[in-house]
Chains A and B, each alone.
Chain A
């Protein structure tokens, strides 16, 4: 069996292999690919490499160490910032996943007035420059807090709360986009089949619609989490005093010069982001 299987293709006439010719177009395209990858990933690679460098100096490789990672783990400010980041990411992800999914369902299922306008407005946070979003949120919170103080005597401050709300605002459209993509090729006859078999609207949603949308919803959630955990600009503007997240902490340290701890911290953030994005892609691919 195995011998015939291996020899058969050899005896069969081979299709003439297309010879790779060095055309100018081919050269340009390949150089382009190589340069793009270098440009994109070399800095990241350098950062990760130097996070293991046994020297405080950046440019020279001395030897391998995980000292900076150990130091990072012992650093109370880093731990506090990481805790803040996680709390904000978890809460904002949970809320924006629910809002985003419901928005996607509403846009897919219902026809209502100004639907197109609503849809356009919803995608705005994806398109608008982050700095504009950051400042508009800052102004919004400021105004709201001033008015609340004046009318109700309620004193509210910037902090984890404002950061979380800001993160929900910019991440739920991403969830909505991902879930809508999933809804686009959703077979509505499955819902009809469920109803035909005696499932009411809620049961149909619970046992058929939701499980089938779940990969999309989870992918959206992972995306929201990634966006939240490494957001700098919007967080920076809406953090107030005392509420520090990991990106803010890194920025604070970099102002005093690049240290290996910062490299280590960035490497950890990078790893977490890659893992989450990869998870999101895998989930979206699942049918």
Chain B
């Protein structure tokens, strides 16, 4: 199935009046029907990118195309996209029905068709019966749904969402994440979703673009982003990572050996263009590491360390293991057995063996 790019950004930059570079040479291709997230810390340029797609900001250079048509200086009201704003931006002087009908009214759609479509849109977001309420009479989650209905009723080509769940409490946010994903699959519209919440992005997205300091660092599926981060920033921002600085001493097909602090050799997954002697960082996720007591057999390919700290957090237990004077590693072990009865316990100060599959450890060039 060949998919077409719905939204395309080519070398887009935005420099504000005060010469702040908000977006720096960003190129993206977002496919039709895709749930695409722009993920990054605040100030990384993700919202500015979204506002440029919506037409609220014009790129300083580069080009944005929607449905293959270059947008140039096209104002927001002539773009086939709709936005769900961070604070919802519902019109306080209009009822829920009037808010939702606004876009169709502007297009001078016949009255009875508007009424029918408003009813459908409110049903879609499970807000039937709320037609005559005013926004201030609704809870945050309900306002959120009105904002969604108000945007979706226009059947836009692309829906832009600017941290729409940011104002909701944790539980409601989780509910809405699934609901949004479900909604997106139902209506089949391209969603471009801005968030700083990595978990949110991983949960909902088909693909994620990780941004920092105005640049796109990596684009990929949640799996690719999490399992194969291409830079230290991505590995650090999405999930947790241990970073071990060292030098490549051996390359053997898919496998590289990196010596940390000139003493500890660790296995990792080799990537293209790596050379022996190169200074690199090995990134390894805490939950990918296996922890064993020293006495056990098969120490081959293992790394020795001493447990310095143990933190029990319910589902898991964290171990802080010191490898060298300058280097510690966090290990996350799932508490799959009842730890109160467990005979296999590793204590404070104990010497342990760490091991992991070499392909789970990323070699990042520094």
Contact = CB atoms under 8 A, between A and B. Distances in A.
B313 to A, nearest CB: 39
B77 A196 contact: yes
Nearest to B100: A197
Interface string A203-225: 10001100110000000000000
B312 interface: no
A146 interface: no
Interface residues of A, number: 18
B116 interface: no
Interface in A81-110: none
Contact of A193 (B55, B89, B154): B89
Nearest to A199: B106
Interface core residue of A194, A197, A212 (most chain B CB under 10 Å): A197
Interface string B54-95: 111000000000000000000111000111010101111100
Contacts of B151: 196-197
B75 A197 contact: no
A200 B77 CA distance: 6
A132 interface: no
Interface stretch (A9-17, A160-168, A184-192, A228-236): A184-192
Interface string B93-120: 1000000001100110000000000000
Given A212-B92, A212-B93, A197 B87 contact: no
A196 B106 contact: no
A119 B45 CA distance: 36
A197 B82 contact: yes
Contact of B76 (A187, A196, A207, A211): A196
Contact of A192 (B76, B93, B102): B76
Interface string A105-135: 0000000000000000000000000000000
A74 interface: no
B207 interface: no
Contacts of A287: 92
A206 to B, nearest CB: 10
Given A189-B87, A192-B56, A192-B76, A197 B92 contact: no
Given A194-B102, A197-B154, A208 B91 contact: yes
B157 interface: no
Interface in A168-199: 187, 189-190, 192-199
A197 B150 contact: yes
B116 to A, nearest CB: 18
Contacts of B103: 197-198
B134 to A, nearest CB: 11
Contacts of B102: 194, 197, 199, 207
A199 B85 contact: no
A207 B91 CA distance: 10
A232 to B, nearest CB: 39
B93 A196 contact: no
B150 to A, nearest CB: 7
A195 B76 contact: yes
Contacts of A193: 83, 85, 89-91
Given A189-B85, A189-B87, A207-B102, A195 B77 contact: yes
Contacts of B85: 189, 192-193
Contact of B106 (A187, A190, A198, A212): A198
A192 B102 CA distance: 13
Interface core residue of A187, A190, A211 (most chain B CB under 10 Å): A190
Contacts of B82: 196-197
B91 A195 contact: no
B83 A196 contact: yes
Interface of B: 54-56, 75-77, 81-83, 85, 87, 89-93, 102-103, 106-107, 150-151, 154
7 contacts: A195-B56, A197-B102, A197-B103, A199-B106, A200-B77, A211-B93, A212-B93
Interface of A: 187, 189-190, 192-200, 203, 207-208, 211-212, 287
Given A196-B81, A197-B151, A198-B106, 16 more contacts: A187-B87, A189-B89, A192-B56, A192-B83, A193-B83, A193-B85, A193-B90, A195-B75, A195-B76, A195-B77, A196-B76, A197-B150, A198-B103, A199-B106, A212-B93, A287-B92
